[in-house]
Amino acid sequence: MTETGTYVYAISRGRPDRMSEAMEGVGGVAGAQVRAVAHAGLTALVSTVGLAEFGEDALKRNLENLDWLESTARAHHAVVDGTAAVAVTLPLRLVTVYRNDERVREVLSERGEEFTEALDRITGRTEWGVKGYADPAAFTSAGAGPGDAGRGDTARGDTGRGDTRHGDTGASSPGTAYLQRRRAQQRTDKDAREEAAACADRIDYELCEIAATSRVHPPQDPQLSGHEGWMILNAAYLVDDERAEDFRAAVTRLSGLRAGLRLELTGPWAPYSFAEEPTGEAAETEAAEEGTEEEEGPWTGS
Amino acid sequence: MDRVLTGVPVPPPGRSAVSRGENIALVDLLDRLLAGGVVITGDITISIADVDLVKISLRAIIASIRPEMDRIRGEEATVTRLDEHRRSVPSRRERPS
């Protein structure tokens, strides 16, 4: 007898019959059929999976296999995306597996309130991804190019004098000139990175003005994404659907902010990045306040 | 029901990063599936959650791209340097004007 478990993709408020209908022809993980398990006004999209593949030990092994990871991720996404197209959908994290459907109903019952609140939060909103790249050459050359490095340094005046203060042989010495040139180049590189970071801040700031909320993902691995240059922004924005066009327009406009800057818009996504309650400032402030009341460290001044 | 995922512009194909027949980059998907979504502890996957999904799968990604590991580290450092760099800004003010 083969042991099985219930893989859960997403939780939605859609009617189970309509959900099942939407899932016709959509293959789940490992090619499994996708079913709807409904309880307490919520519908979970699930598949029956073999524990030989989705059991704990097997998963630890399989998750390290990129081909397995990719096909599982794409199947998971296909179900989530198909569901999100017909009803408000809360995606679950990859590989959430229960013993059986009954356990899924229990979870829907136990955490129903939490899921309902999360569904309310994402209703009428869609996730969009924005990735920003800076071309290092363009960001460096717009300031002082290699040939202009000396002049760039001199233009800073005060800094230049500060440097020569320590140079006892004067600016005409080849050694000093070399060092000055090196410093100027380093400063140019620093300036370029600083400007790229400032660009990313401004883009994020302006997009946050339109979005209901946002989340920053870690920069992507260039080997996987194939991108060149500096990845300066990898963010997700939860945008009210009536503002989606404004958001897209803002991305297009901001991509012209500066030469050498490139923005990529991805989406619409089911709200993966916003399925969890933000752990944000509210929680942290609360914790900090409690901290000051209950434990006064030696660092607490009067 | 077909929802088109658009990229502006479409990202350059990066080996296994871009799937066959689909235009969603795997990296974008993994950003969301491994670090996003509702986290509820499954019966079967209790200790997977503890071990940290991201770390396990990161090993898969790194193993698949083992050549040029140094370059990866270099690129990863880029963002760190951007941050360091912001911190380094005040040092200019310390200079005599």
Same domain, A231 and A253: yes
Question: How many structural domains are present in chain A?
Answer: 3
CB contact under 8 A, A60 and B48: yes
Nearest chain B residue to A235 by CA: give it: B31
pLDDT, residue A181, reads 82
**Residue type at position A205:** Y
Q: Are residues A248 and A138 located together in one domain of the fold?
A: yes
Cβ distance B56 to A93 less than 8 Å, yes or no, reads no
Name which of A204, A144, A211, A152 is nearest A180 in CA terms: A152
The β-bridge relationship of strands A261-269 and A230-240 is unpaired
- Nearest one of A298, A299, A138, A159 to A229, comparing CA atoms: A138
CB-CB neighbors (< 8 A) of B78 in chain A: 219, 230-231
Collect all residues with Cβ–Cβ distance below 8 Å to A229 and sequence separation of at least 6. A133, A134, A135, A136, A262
Q: Determine, for residues B37 and A272 on separate chains, whether the beta-carbon distance falls below 8 Å.
A: yes
Same domain, A137 and A285: yes
- Residue of B20, B26, B45 for testing the chain A interface, max A β-carbons within 10 Å: B45
Beta-carbon separation of A266 and B5 below 8 A: yes
Burial string for B19-55 (b: 16+ CB within 10 Å, else e) reads: beeeebbbbbbbbbbbbbbbebebbbbeebeeeebee
Helix residue spans in A28-173 (DSSP H): 51-54, 56-62, 66-84, 101-110, 112-122, 136-141, 149-155, 158-164
Q: Is residue A299 in some structural domain?
A: no
* pLDDT in 10s for each residue of chain B, 97 residues: 333 333 333 333 333 333 333 578 888 998 898 888 888 877 877 666 655 666 776 776 666 655 445 554 555 545 444 444 333 333 333 333 3
Which CATH number belongs to the domain containing residue A245 in this structure?
A: 3.30.70.260
The alpha carbons of chain A give a radius of gyration, in whole angstroms, of 27
- Domain extent, residue A275, equals 124-143+187-292
Residue owning tokens 């190019």: A145
Residue A219 lies in a domain: yes
State which residue of chain A sits closest to B6, comparing Cα positions: A266
Asked if residue A298 is part of any domain, the answer here is no
- A211 and A243 together in one domain: yes
- The whole-number mean pLDDT for each consecutive block of 10 residues of chain A, a chain of 302 residues, reads 90 90 90 94 96 90 88 95 93 93 95 94 96 92 45 38 44 80 80 93 97 93 82 97 97 95 96 79 42 37 33
Give the pLDDT of residue A86: 92
Give the containing element (helix H, strand E) for A248.
Answer: helix A244-254
pTM of the model: 0.72
Tell me: do A201 and A132 sit in the same domain.
yes
* pLDDT in the model for residue A118: 94
For residue B7, the distance in angstroms to the closest alpha carbon of chain A comes to 5
Instruction: Find out whether the peptide bond into A268 is cis, omega within 30 degrees of 0.
Output: yes
Say yes or no: A175 and A278 in one domain: no
Q: Could you tell me if A108 and A211 lie in one domain? A: no
User: Closest chain A residue to B79 measured between Cα atoms?
Assistant: A232
Residues A214 and A65 in one domain: no
**B19 — phi, psi (to 5°)?**
-75, 170
Q: Do A36 and A103 share a domain, yes or no? A: yes
pLDDT at position A301 is 33
Provide the pLDDT for residue A71: 94
For residue A148, the model assigns a pLDDT of 38
Q: Which amino acid is at B66?
A: R
Instruction: Compute the count of residue pairs across chains A and B with CB atoms less than 8 Å apart.
Output: 225
**Are A131 and A251 in the same domain?**
yes
ipTM: 0.76
Instruction: Let me know whether A102 and A157 are in one domain.
Output: no
End-of-domain residue from the set A76, A98, A116: A116
Interface test with A, best of B5, B10, B16, B44 (most A CBs within 10 A): B44
User: Is A181 inside a domain boundary?
Assistant: yes
Q: Can you give the pLDDT at residue A157?
A: 38
For residue A107, what is the nearest residue in chain B, using CA coordinates? B40
B8 contacts in A (CB within 8 Å)? Answer: 251-252, 255, 263-265
Domain check: are A237 and A162 in the same one? no
**B67, closest residue in chain A (CA to CA):** A223
Q: Cα–Cα distance between A30 and A49 in angstroms, integer? A: 8
Residue owning tokens 């410093």: A183
Q: Which of B3, B30, B82 sits opposite A268 (nearest CB)?
A: B3
